[in-house]
């Protein structure tokens, strides 16, 4: 875990600083700082942390037709931080059963009235034009290195001084295992953003003893535990 940003020592502030005066400024300011991480210091008051970790891809999602692709497909790569794109990155897609590869190219913007979605500074868009030889039920990326940066292209963390390159690696297309209770770096059209479970007309003489869990495909999630009140 990174420590909060702090100055080097009590004499870190340097320069000729004088008290303001409508006449000649002659009173020199005392530039001695509070001890590091003590009351009044930068590290004590403000908890400013320098984040030098590279952005990584949280998800790849087709915008138009989840699960079924059409003539012109737009895929959005969402990073976990805002990014800046230079050049023309590309995204290799698996578009056929005989290892057919299609190349989606980066587009700097996307204007379409039929797409009601807010695109943030962490989103990078790619456009794929479907070919006559493409034949696959579910479009997906080709492999873990499918997002390619040709010579002169880069994706870097958007900051006041952008220098940190993004991590553009992906998982293998068939890897949907949970890592830290999430699935990053993966094609995520098949995962709903929210599941709702409705339990109606449930009666129990001791409702506080009820525990409900949802189980599916070897995974489980607790819906509620000791949550309910008796109704009269």
pLDDT at 117: 58
pLDDT tens digits for range 118-164: 667 888 999 888 888 888 777 889 999 999 999 999 999 988 888 89
CA distance 214 to 223: 7
CB 70 within 8 A of CB 50: no
pLDDT at 69: 62
Q: What is the pTM of this model?
A: 0.65
Residue spans of the chain under pLDDT 50? 1, 113-114, 232
pLDDT tens digits for range 171-184: 998 888 888 878 89
Query: SS3 string of 76-121?
Result: EEEECCCEEEECCCEEEEECECCCCEEEEEEECCCCCCCCCCCCCC
pLDDT at 193: 54
pLDDT at 155: 95
Angle formed at CA 183 by CA 89 and CA 142, multiple of 5 degrees? 40
pLDDT at 113: 43
pLDDT at 227: 66
């Amino acid at each position: 875990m990174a420590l909060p940003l702090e100055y080097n020592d009590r004499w870190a502030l340097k320069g000729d600083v004088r008290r303001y005066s409508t006449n000649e400024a002659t009173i020199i300011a005392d530039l001695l700082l509070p001890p590091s991480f003590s009351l009044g210091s930068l590290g004590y008051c403000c908890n400013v942390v320098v984040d030098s970790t590279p952005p990584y891809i949280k998800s790849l999602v087709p915008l138009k037709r989840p699960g079924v692709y059409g003539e012109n497909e737009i895929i959005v790569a969402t990073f976990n931080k805002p990014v800046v794109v230079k050049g023309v990155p590309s995204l290799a897609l698996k578009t056929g059963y005989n290892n057919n590869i299609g190349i989606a190219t980066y587009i700097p913007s996307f204007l379409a009235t039929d797409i009601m979605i807010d695109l943030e500074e962490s989103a990078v868009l790619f456009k794929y034009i479907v070919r006559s030889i493409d034949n696959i039920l579910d479009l997906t990326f080709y492999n873990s290195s499918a997002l390619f940066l040709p010579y002169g292209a880069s994706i870097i963390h958007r900051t006041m001084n952008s220098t940190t390159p993004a991590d553009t690696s992906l998982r293998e297309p068939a890897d949907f295992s949970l890592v830290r209770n999430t699935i990053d770096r993966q094609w995520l059209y098949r995962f709903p953003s929210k599941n709702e479970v409705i339990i109606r007309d449930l009666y129990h003489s001791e409702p506080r003893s009820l525990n409900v869990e949802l189980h599916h495909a070897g995974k489980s999630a607790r819906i509620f535990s000791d949550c309910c009140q008796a109704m009269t």
